[in-house]
Structure 1
Amino acid sequence: MTRTALIAGQGGLPVALAAEMTASGTDFLVAELDGFPSEIAGADPVRFRVERLVPFLDLLAGRGVRRVAFAGAIRRPALDPELIDARSATLVPRLAAAFRSGDDALLREVVAIFEDWEFEVAGADALAPALVPGPGVLAGTVTEADRADAAQAAAIVGAVGGLDIGQGAVVAQGLCLAVETLPGTDAMLDFAALHAARLRPDPKGGRGVLYKAPKPGQDRRIDLPTLGPRSVEKAAAAGLAGIAWEAGGVILLDRAAMVEAAGRAGLFLWAREP
């Protein structure tokens, strides 16, 4: 059996992925970047620093790890030059260039380094396919107005995603109310909640849609968009009609709880064909 290292950041995704891997009998250990603990209960994680990345890679290999998966949010850490060991110093030019780039470029470089050490990099969809639903309506009813708003939002997400800006947008009655940027989905929905009512041209028209999708050309083994029960609560608070996402491209952290929350709030949940 292939042993996997779950490189766990913060938020609900590492917890959900660890639970799915445990349920499937996957042999794995948890690793955490120093200063960014995950919420995985009882994980007993291996902790590492970017400045000593090569010793960490050697440690994983020594523990029989052949596959790695990245999950969860990690802010860019402040690097201490005094902690860099001689072998990790050879990676500094690559990492320094990546740190000056967008999130997608940085993650691609990190993946490339792990692959240089002959680790297989696996996505959450490969390790826990139940977290990434295929096409279909999971809750509620999608109207033609909702479909039009979702199509417009998908076009916007494709455009801003190509600039490595974000993975989500809110559209109502064909108008873009908000796009996701560095602060994340919750901040986008908070903005929509503050402004959506006055920005909708027709008070009796479509209430609007939150749409999420991977960035164009994104390596889907890393940084897939996520949605969870909190997304439903925030979308309801913003007065939206529902949530749509690219089928097969977005992780649902707790599908059952999302469906239940959407039912209570009268929202639809739709995995949309790209």
Structure 2
Amino acid sequence: MTGRLAIIAGRGLLPAALVAALDEAPLVASLDGFLPEGLEPDLVFRLERLVPLLRHLEDSGVTRVVFAGAVQRPRLDPALFDAATAQMVPRLLGAMQGGDDAALRAVVGVFEEAGFQVLGAADIAPALVPGAGVICGQPTPADERDAARAAQIVAALGAVDVGQGAVVAQGLCLAVESLPGTDAMLEFVAATAQRPNPAAAKGLLYKAPKPGQDLRIDLPTLGVQTVQKAAAAGLAGIVWQAGGVIVLQPAAMQAAAEAAGLFLWARP
């Protein structure tokens, strides 16, 4: 499919990173209240005006869209609905009550039904979604065991649409990711966590998509700040599911990890 690309943007650095990876400028549409960092959107929209947004994208020659950036469920204002979008209210509200994954699937479905091809970040910027391999440092056998344990925990969390990350040390779960996010989880570990054996494995952060997740939307994201928070929490490294996690500013993230003595591992 040819035609212009639109980025449906939320908060964070990912929308700007995608723009930087493209040869042609996309149309950037940002959800009101969730503006991206380092990027000026072409337009700002509200979910209550979703159908007018779809029509504007079509009139602008857009045929492909990618969702990028963090959003929270917006509070809907009944007075702002146009007639066409109002017909979607039961569908959207029902999806929002089903959890983040269900809400995102519903929005993606609306775009696809309107004739747009929905792409993932890996489709347009594959370098931001690394394949399997140790990027820097070297996990120990104890780290490998902790990573396997963390993967089990994150899979269980994801199955009930809770979070996409956990911190594990010496086989014990020190923290899991919930609504406050990865940074808050790492800050909690830095402030409270005690390892059973101070001389043994220091632990690691593990991130992965939810089981059965549509990899075009809501992929976990790591960056330089994640490395800094993990180092402050006293962890040995960061592990993620290869091909399922976005790494922002890969070179800067690797440099920060090397400086902090952390390993980075995209786990198969």
8 A contact 2:30–2:41 mirrored in 1: no
Count of aligned pairs between the two proteins: 267
In 2, Cα distance between equivalents of 1:264 and 1:227: 17
Normalization by structure 1: what TM-score? 0.95
8 A contact 1:242–1:269 mirrored in 2: yes
Q: How does 1:138-217 map to 2 (within 5 A)?
A: 138-196=135-193, 198=194, 200-217=195-212
8 A contact 2:168–2:203 mirrored in 1: yes
Q: Which runs of 5+ in 2 are unaligned?
A: none
8 A contact 1:2–1:27 mirrored in 2: no
8 A contact 1:4–1:65 mirrored in 2: yes
* 1:195 CA displacement: 2.0
The one-letter code matched in structure 2 to 1:29 is L
SS in 1 for 2:206: strand
In 2, Cα distance between equivalents of 1:8 and 1:162: 26
| Residue 56 (structure 1) aligns with | 53
Consecutive aligned runs of 4 or more in structure 1 exceeding 3 Å deviation: none
In 2, Cα distance between equivalents of 1:195 and 1:39: 31
**C-alpha root-mean-square deviation of aligned residues, in Å?**
1.0
* 1:26 CA displacement: 3.5
The one-letter code matched in structure 2 to 1:179 is V
Alignment of 1:238 onto 2:236: no
| Per-residue Cα deviation, 1:221-257 (whole angstroms, up to 9, x for no partner) | 0000000001000100010110000011110001111
Q: How does 1:1-274 map to 2 (within 5 A)?
A: 1-21=2-22, 25-41=23-39, 43-196=40-193, 198=194, 200-273=195-268
* 1:101 CA displacement: 2.1
The one-letter code matched in structure 1 to 2:5 is T
In 1, Cα distance between equivalents of 2:165 and 2:33: 28
In 2, Cα distance between equivalents of 1:2 and 1:224: 25
| Per-residue Cα deviation, 1:198-230 (whole angstroms, up to 9, x for no partner) | 2x1111100001000000000000000000001
SS in 1 for 2:106: helix
The one-letter code matched in structure 1 to 2:142 is A
Instruction: Tell which deviates more after alignment, 230-239 or 30-39.
Output: 30-39
In 2, Cα distance between equivalents of 1:163 and 1:44: 34
In 2, Cα distance between equivalents of 1:134 and 1:164: 25
In 1, Cα distance between equivalents of 2:33 and 2:177: 26
The one-letter code matched in structure 1 to 2:196 is P
In 1, Cα distance between equivalents of 2:183 and 2:41: 30
In 1, Cα distance between equivalents of 2:148 and 2:96: 33
The one-letter code matched in structure 2 to 1:210 is L
In 2, Cα distance between equivalents of 1:12 and 1:120: 23
In 2, Cα distance between equivalents of 1:122 and 1:26: 16
The one-letter code matched in structure 1 to 2:26 is F
8 A contact 2:10–2:36 mirrored in 1: yes
In 1, Cα distance between equivalents of 2:148 and 2:203: 12
* 1:44 CA displacement: 4.5
The one-letter code matched in structure 1 to 2:197 is D
In 2, Cα distance between equivalents of 1:33 and 1:54: 14
SS in 2 for 1:58: helix
8 A contact 1:13–1:71 mirrored in 2: yes
The one-letter code matched in structure 1 to 2:218 is D
SS in 1 for 2:131: coil
The one-letter code matched in structure 2 to 1:34 is D
